[in-house]
Chain A
Amino acid sequence: MVSRVQAVRAAARMTMKIFFADPQWIIPAIIAPFIFTLVALLLFRNETGPLLLYAVLGGGLMGMWGTTVYGSGTSITFDRFNGTMEATLAAPVPLMWIIGGRVAWNTFIGVINGGIILVIGTLWFRTGISIANPLAFTFATVVTYVSLSSFGLMLATVYVLTRQGGFIMNSLEVPVYIATGTMFPVALLPLATQPVAFILGPTWGIEAIRKAAIAGYTGLATSYWTDIGILAIETAAYFAISFYLFGRVERLAKRNGTLEEY
């Protein structure tokens, strides 16, 4: 079978080229989550020190999340805009790898988006925000990126498996911000919602990022490496679920001759 890595890379590259060729994508992908975040940041404008860093990081992470959720939808509906559904479905690589390449690019935009929000947030509040452990911070960010991609890949199938994909995604966005502790520490959430947070990989990514960034941060009672470990396991699970769901999507597409009808 054809090299899947080659297909993933090609799909990511094509998504990037079209992203730059068509500026209208920048509005939902960057500007919208960005504005949303700035509003959230204003709520914290009187804070200083660790809590402010907490908030600014939360803003960045929200940017990452928003783009992932948005991007997972466009990764699979992309062909509808382009009229390339058949060409994509006819490729000699499983659909998951092509969509995977697109999700990888869209999530990457989310990370860039998070980075921009972080920098602007830092400049805006003009408090000397410093990252406690830059190396651990970077590592946690990269692992979170992979995890977000796997999560986005899984979400992408929802768009095909149900007509209400777009609606589900939109209604998911804010609860996910809250459940994963982007805005408030998970420990503060009602006990009933905590299990939801714990099965969402990015919860652990956010936790690890905060532990690395904020000196003396006490979130969940886990260690940095425990967070990373759980994140890795959940990411693997998302990939496995995606693999299964994409298999179903492909079989359905073949049965109906199109992806467009459900």
Chain B
Amino acid sequence: MQEAGEGSSAVDVKDLRREYVTRSFLKKTTKVTAALDGISLRVARGELFGLIGPNGAGKTTTIKILTTLLSPTSGSAKILDLDINKDMYEIRRRIGIVFGGERGLYNRVTAVENLKYFADLYGVPPSEITGRVKKMIEMVGLEGRENERVEKYSRGMKQRLHIAKALIHDPELVFLDEPTIGLDPGGARDIRNMVRGMKKDGKSIFLTTHNMFEADELCDRVAVISRGKIVALDTPAGLKKSAKDISVIELQTYGADANFVQRIEKIGGVTRVVADLDSERQSIRVQTEFPTEVLPTIVGLAGDVNIIDKSIREPTLEDAYLRLVEE
């Protein structure tokens, strides 16, 4: 594992735990879910840090605790060297939060009115608000549409506005919870470019994602979280290296079905098969330590299935990730 350097950090988390207690309707039974099961990590100032993990792994819970919206059950966390329990308002003033999605904006009023409101809440000096709002609108590319009601915005435009809102008070550290979820490829690319811009401006960034490509492309370091625990923490390159012992056979086929996939799974030395059978042309990825032996076996099994393309490649971050979260 790689560690952030010593000294002042943007985020410093030690053994953070969070349980949710849910009572059944009649309050007869209580169920305790450990959403976070003791996580520790450090993010250096100026670093772009990613937290990746499957649904329900605890990503949003982590962000809520670090942004002082939720108290941990135990453990400690420092944000910009301030304690999340003691310096709540000071932390909030110095961080930006992008929860994203359809929520979090006042839909009945315009983008400008939203930004002015949040500028006031975050204590931007009144004389600077107009200039700051204009700058943010330009930065996220909403010029020309800024005086329309937010309810008329597309999903992508709302997400840009979320970014503008989070940066309105020029925070030192920005938290983004799945910032590109639900966006089309172009919209997601724009948001990723904005995140890069934030880093260039010297901000520290903590983001969560499902998307391995995004984590690989953006992040200096990545923590993989699974069922409330950090199962790996490294640079994207380091994580890929940890999966060096596996290779991936990629197949493009006509006529493959679930039955064919099952037969591949049964071949000795195959650790995982990921198949997309929905389209006319199917893509199948087979993870194995012994690609040169497994590939001929698959070809031998093909029968009616037409293998139109086959290749052996190095593991991607996604391969490393899938192995980690499913272990």
Contacts and interface: CB of A to CB of B under 8 A. Distances in A.
A256 B39 CA distance: 20
Nearest to B18: A257
Interface in B112-143: 113, 116-118, 120-123, 126
B64 interface: yes
A89 B108 contact: no
A1 B121 CA distance: 11
A93 interface: yes
Q: Mostly helix, strand, loop or mixed at chain A's interface?
A: helix
Interface string B239-270: 00000000000000000000000000000000
B41 to A, nearest CB: 20
Contacts of A31: none
Contacts of A86: 69, 99, 103-104
Contacts of A82: 106-108
A14 B118 CA distance: 10
A20 to B, nearest CB: 9
B109 A21 contact: yes
A18 B108 contact: yes
Contacts of B70: 254, 257
- Residue of B97, B108, B126 contacting most chain A CB atoms (<10 Å): B108
Interface residues of A, number: 29
B120 A18 contact: no
B232 interface: no
A194 B252 CA distance: 85
Interface stretch (A2-10, A46-54, A196-204, A217-225): A2-10
A90 interface: yes
A90 B123 contact: no
Contact of B122 (A2, A11, A89, A94): A2
Nearest to B149: A21
Contacts of B105: 83-84, 87
Contacts of A126: none
A3 B123 contact: yes
B89 A2 contact: yes
A7 B89 CA distance: 13
B93 A2 contact: yes
A111 interface: no
A91 B261 CA distance: 51
Contacts of B106: 14, 18, 82, 84
B108 A7 contact: no
B109 to A, nearest CB: 5
A14 B99 contact: no
B155 interface: no
B117 A255 contact: no
A29 to B, nearest CB: 15
Given A92-B121, A93-B121, 10 more contacts: A14-B113, A14-B117, A18-B109, A83-B104, A84-B103, A84-B104, A87-B104, A92-B122, A255-B71, A257-B69
Interface of A: 1-3, 6-7, 9-11, 13-14, 17-18, 21-22, 82-84, 86-87, 89-94, 98, 254-255, 257
When A and B form their complex, which 3 residue pairs have the shortest distance between CB atoms, in order from nearest?
A10-B120, A2-B123, A83-B103
17 contacts: A1-B90, A2-B123, A7-B120, A9-B120, A10-B116, A10-B120, A13-B117, A18-B106, A82-B106, A84-B105, A87-B99, A87-B118, A91-B121, A92-B92, A92-B123, A98-B121, A254-B71
